[in-house]
A = this chain, B = another copy of it.
Amino acid sequence: MTPKKRSEEPSVAALLTPDILDLLETEPGSVAAETEDLHPADLADVAEQIPRSQVPVLLAALPVPRAAAVLEYLDEELRTELLEQMSPEQAATLVARMMPDDRADTLEEIDEERAEEIVEALPAETRRVTQQLLLYEPETAGGLMTTEVVSVPEAFTVEETLVRVREIARSGRREAMNTVYAVDASGALKGVMSLRELLASPEGARLADVAWPEVRHVNVGADREEVARFISEYDLAAIPVVDDQQKLLGVVTFDDVIDVIQAEQTEDVQKLGGMDALEEPYMQIGFWQVIQKRAPWLMVLLVGEMFTASAMGYFEDEIASALVLATFLPLIISAGGNSGSQGTSLIIRSLALREVSVREWWRVFVRELPAGIVLGAILAVLGFFRVEGWQWMHDAQLHIGAVSFGHDYGPHSIPLALTVAVSLVGVVTFGALAGSMLPFLLRSLKLDPASASAPFVATLVDVTGLVIFFNVALFFLRGTLL
């Protein structure tokens, strides 16, 4: 992202860490009271900055619900380490007080056997919910949702509903509380109301009459990307998750969706860079795991690029007659790769944001064709003057002291300059088309359009660009250089 006005203030955590470390050593009993106004995210930052040996002391000094909230915000690596060091019973006490979705995610991160021991040590009802959540794929609505949701029979009045909401709020449970869902006797989702709408409604009215009957919802098996799309399209703070019988199972909240959007973005950028997406942050993932994500694509690209060696072998006679062609080759083919990389990045985002659908590929084609020609023509002018300019500098014997400028392309500099210019138009146009059409092709093959990486497009265009270049050269230089 673009840094514009970056606050250079130290973070809350950086300011507090020394004080809290002091307290932990001298008066651990007072830590809870001293930090009670801090956001758990800040306490988690503090925990990440103090020596590892002090972290369990800090957690132990906090009330259990606070410690659980801090755990939710902790680095995955540190959280896993802490929970694996505790006894399963200690871990279960903490984990039981986490939000159900964070609890399930946490248990999925740690060693499987240890996770099972912790689940066994959970209170019965919490265990049941947790085991249920662990069944859902992490990348689905089920894997993202929390089961703590305020659902109320649709026959309730507004007043009865408010009493229920107050009870839940006072019980200290941490439900997603800004929205109330009305359900029928079978638990099927029938309506939705925000807390604000509830407060604005006449107290005697029945939920069935005042709640919004058209509830935006997702199936428990829906892909996380679809969940994110609903939340962002309808500006929802939470979206209810239902099973195939429309039974309300839970909600996915906006904060999880922000995390999803950022994770998908990281994946997309890494794929666009020409590698498999890492599953963990770069600085935390193991060395060999990084190699595993990078090497296969580099190998595939190298094998693809080997066709350039074969193609050039085919044109060896031309290169021998006109060595100068070889010197311009990297220039030409890289221009095609660059224009292809632009086309790809434009279309990947347009597809992700649904600005364009797969069926509309031809609308992109009719834009990219003239764009490629115009961009190629601009570069062609530069390329033409690169050859002719150097030739002119050579002919004019331009020099500063002993350093002379320019290059002698011989008596055939004009056809050479034309070869470079026309090849650039062809290669840049081909690049723009190949780069912009590839994401559509991948999507229509049910593959991820973001796999159309910049290096992949560049390799594709290198081989074709080379063939274009030598054929243009044959046209302009046959009988002279060739």
Q: Which residues of B contact A313 (CB under 8 A)?
A: 327, 407
Interface residues as binary, A446-464 with B (CB distance below 8 Å gives 1, 0 otherwise):
1010100111001100100
Whether, in the assembled complex, A312 has its beta carbon less than 8 Å from a beta carbon of chain B, the answer is yes
Chain B residue nearest to A234 (CB atoms) is: B41
Size band of the A side of the interface?
35 or more
Q: Which of B223, B283, B284, B306 contacts A4 (CB 8 A)?
A: B223
Given contacts A273-B272, A309-B330, A335-B298, contact A266 B353 (CB under 8 A): yes
Q: Which of B275, B338, B344 contacts A345 (CB 8 A)?
A: B275
Chain copies in the assembly?
A: 2
Given contacts A275-B342, A330-B466, contact A1 B269 (CB under 8 A): no
Whether, in the assembled complex, A194 has its beta carbon less than 8 Å from a beta carbon of chain B, the answer is yes
Q: Which residues of B contact A214 (CB under 8 A)?
A: 37-39
Q: Which of B170, B254, B339, B378 contacts A254 (CB 8 A)?
A: B254
Of the candidate stretches A87-95, A110-118, A122-130, A363-371, the one touching chain B is A363-371
Of the candidate stretches A225-233, A396-404, A471-479, the one touching chain B is A225-233
Whether, in the assembled complex, A386 has its beta carbon less than 8 Å from a beta carbon of chain B, the answer is yes
Q: Which of B235, B337, B459 contacts A455 (CB 8 A)?
A: B337
Whether the pair A356, B283 counts as a contact (CB closer than 8 A) is yes
Whether the pair A226, B341 counts as a contact (CB closer than 8 A) is no
A33 to chain B minimum Cβ distance, whole angstroms, is 14
Whether the pair B258, A3 counts as a contact (CB closer than 8 A) is no
Chain B residue nearest to A317 (CB atoms) is: B323
Q: Which of A362-388 contact B (CB under 8 A)?
A: 363-364, 367, 370-371, 374-375, 378-379, 382-383, 386
The distance in angstroms between the C-alpha atoms of A373 and B282, with both chains bound, is 18
Interface residues as binary, A342-370 with B (CB distance below 8 Å gives 1, 0 otherwise):
11111111101101100010011001001
Q: Which residues of B contact A448 (CB under 8 A)?
A: 1-3
Whether, in the assembled complex, A270 has its beta carbon less than 8 Å from a beta carbon of chain B, the answer is yes
Of the candidate stretches A18-26, A58-66, A287-295, the one touching chain B is A287-295
A215 to chain B minimum Cβ distance, whole angstroms, is 10
Whether the pair A302, B363 counts as a contact (CB closer than 8 A) is no
A338 to chain B minimum Cβ distance, whole angstroms, is 4
Q: Which residues of B contact A177 (CB under 8 A)?
A: 194-196
Whether, in the assembled complex, A48 has its beta carbon less than 8 Å from a beta carbon of chain B, the answer is no
Whether the pair A281, B4 counts as a contact (CB closer than 8 A) is no
The distance in angstroms between the C-alpha atoms of A319 and B325, with both chains bound, is 11
The distance in angstroms between the C-alpha atoms of A262 and B261, with both chains bound, is 8
Whether, in the assembled complex, A208 has its beta carbon less than 8 Å from a beta carbon of chain B, the answer is no
The distance in angstroms between the C-alpha atoms of A271 and B173, with both chains bound, is 45
Whether the pair A338, B237 counts as a contact (CB closer than 8 A) is no
Of the candidate stretches A78-86, A161-169, A241-249, the one touching chain B is A161-169
Whether the pair A166, B200 counts as a contact (CB closer than 8 A) is yes
Whether the pair A291, B374 counts as a contact (CB closer than 8 A) is yes
Whether the pair A462, B330 counts as a contact (CB closer than 8 A) is yes
The distance in angstroms between the C-alpha atoms of A305 and B334, with both chains bound, is 8
Chain B residue nearest to A381 (CB atoms) is: B299
Whether, in the assembled complex, A303 has its beta carbon less than 8 Å from a beta carbon of chain B, the answer is yes
Whether the pair A199, B165 counts as a contact (CB closer than 8 A) is yes
Q: Which residues of B contact A382 (CB under 8 A)?
A: 299, 302-303
Q: Which of A307-342 contact B (CB under 8 A)?
A: 308-310, 312-313, 316, 319-320, 323, 326-331, 333-335, 337-339, 341-342
Q: Which 3 A-B pairs have the closest CB atoms?
A: A273-B345, A169-B200, A312-B327
Complex A-B: 28 CB contacts under 8 Å: A1-B450, A3-B446, A38-B214, A162-B199, A165-B196, A169-B196, A178-B194, A232-B258, A232-B262, A261-B261, A266-B353, A269-B272, A269-B345, A269-B348, A273-B341, A274-B454, A281-B353, A287-B371, A291-B374, A298-B379, A299-B378, A308-B330, A308-B334, A313-B327, A316-B327, A319-B323, A319-B326, A454-B454
A interface, CB within 8 angstroms of B: 1-7, 37-39, 41, 139-140, 162, 165-166, 169-170, 177-178, 194-197, 199-200, 212-214, 216, 221-223, 225-226, 228, 231-235, 237, 254-255, 257-259, 261-262, 264-270, 272-275, 278, 281-284, 287, 290-291, 294-295, 297-299, 301-303, 305-306, 308-310, 312-313, 316, 319-320, 323, 326-331, 333-335, 337-339, 341-350, 352-353, 355-356, 360, 363-364, 367, 370-371, 374-375, 378-379, 382-383, 386, 407, 424, 428, 443, 446, 448, 450, 453-455, 458-459, 462, 466
